[in-house]
Amino acid sequence: MTKLSVNINKIATLRNSRGGNTPDLLKVACDVQTFGGQGITIHPRPDQRHIRYQDAYDLVRVVTTEYNIEGNPIPEFIDLVLKIKPTQVTLVPDAVDAITSNAGWDTVKHKDFLKEMIAEFHRNDIRTSVFVDPVLKMIEGAKNTGTDRIELYTESFAKEYEAGNKAGIDPYVKAAKLAGDLCLGVNAGHDLSLQNIAFFAQNIPSLLEVSIGHALITESLYLGLENVIQLYLQKLEN
């Protein structure tokens, strides 16, 4: 079964919009895990507009499943990850002012940089994942960085699926198969939702983990968090 890691950035966004501590980020993280979520994902950004660096430290006390920290490996991010030592670090090439992640790594162009970063995280016993587009050349490049896993950037799939084009999954199937041949684990994330997650999970070979935040939190406003977690788990069952 594919693991579900819940990105709680949007909870922090809501909290920050009013100040104070409502909703309580740590309580939500606990609830997500109580309701069956198999991991907690955060993506701190330099402006701390949602997850704050202090949140990343505070969450260590309550995350009992897998702890995945995503972000661009700028010095502040690297220091944060090395101090916390989460289960997994996912390297994402987002610009400082990016609203959300919008592209995967060019793993050929940035091979040496990624290789250096990944080696440092491995020295600290942190599993690594590299955010990539479903491009075979980039999958091969990821292998050469020494990463443990890739995370497939799924925005393109989500848009094609919404438009009724199920063939939009084909590049992801090919990318996942190549990753498997190269002994790379496969994660996925971005714009996955209750509408498309079952189709995606059923077609991607050896999908280890999905990281879902925006859609899951939005759906939870209508359906309730516990119910939404269970619905995702049901759809991810083989």
Whether 133 shows a pLDDT value over 60: the answer reads: yes
Average pLDDT over every residue of 71-76? 95
100 pLDDT higher than 60 = no
pLDDT at 95: 67
Question: Would 79 be classed as within a structural domain?
Answer: yes
3-state secondary structure of 5: strand
Q: What is the pLDDT of residue 237?
A: 85
Q: Is residue 170 predicted with pLDDT exceeding 70? A: yes
Whole-number Å distance between alpha carbons of 155 and 24: 29
The domain in which residue 121 lies consists of: 44-207
**For residues 30 and 62, what is the distance between their CA atoms, to the nearest angstrom?**
6
Inside any domain, residue 223: no
pLDDT grade for 23, boundaries at 50, 70 and 90: very high
Kindly list the distances between the CA atom of residue 103 and the CA atoms of 49, 72, 122, 123, 154, in Å, as whole numbers in the listed order.
20, 12, 24, 27, 10
Mean pLDDT within 10-24: 95
Percent of the chain with pLDDT over 90: 92
Kindly tell me if the per-residue pLDDT of 219 is higher than 60: yes
The pLDDT value given to residue 46 = 87
**Mean pLDDT in residue range 135-163:** 98
State yes or no: pLDDT of 191 exceeds 80. Answer: yes
Q: Which residues are catalytic?
A: 43, 70, 190
Q: Looking at the domain assignment, is residue 216 inside a domain?
A: no
pLDDT band at 157 (very low <50, low <70, confident <90, very high): very high
Task: Give the CA distances from residue 207 to residues 49, 97, 122, 135, 145, in Å, rounded to whole numbers and listed in that order.
Answer: 31, 30, 22, 17, 20
Domain count, the chain: 1
Task: State the pLDDT confidence band at 99, using cuts at 50, 70 and 90.
Answer: low
Q: Quick one: which of 85, 79, 132 has its CA closest to 107?
A: 132
Residue 170 inside a domain? The answer is yes
Model pLDDT, residue 22: 95
In a domain, 138, yes or no: yes
Residue 198 resides in a domain: yes
Please say if the pLDDT value at position 144 is more than 80.
Answer: yes
Rounded to an integer, the average pLDDT of 209-237 is 94
Peptide bond into 23 cis (omega under 30): yes
Of residues 100 and 33, more confidently modeled:
33
Please give the span between the terminal C-alpha atoms of the chain, in angstroms, as a whole number.
Answer: 6
- What does the pLDDT read at residue 103? 82
Residue 6 forms part of a structural domain: no
pLDDT, averaged across the chain: 95
Whole-number pLDDT of residue 1: 87
Which CATH number covers residue 113?
A: 3.20.20.70
Q: Which helix (H) or strand (E) holds 155?
A: helix 155-162
Per the domain annotation, does 214 fall within a domain? no
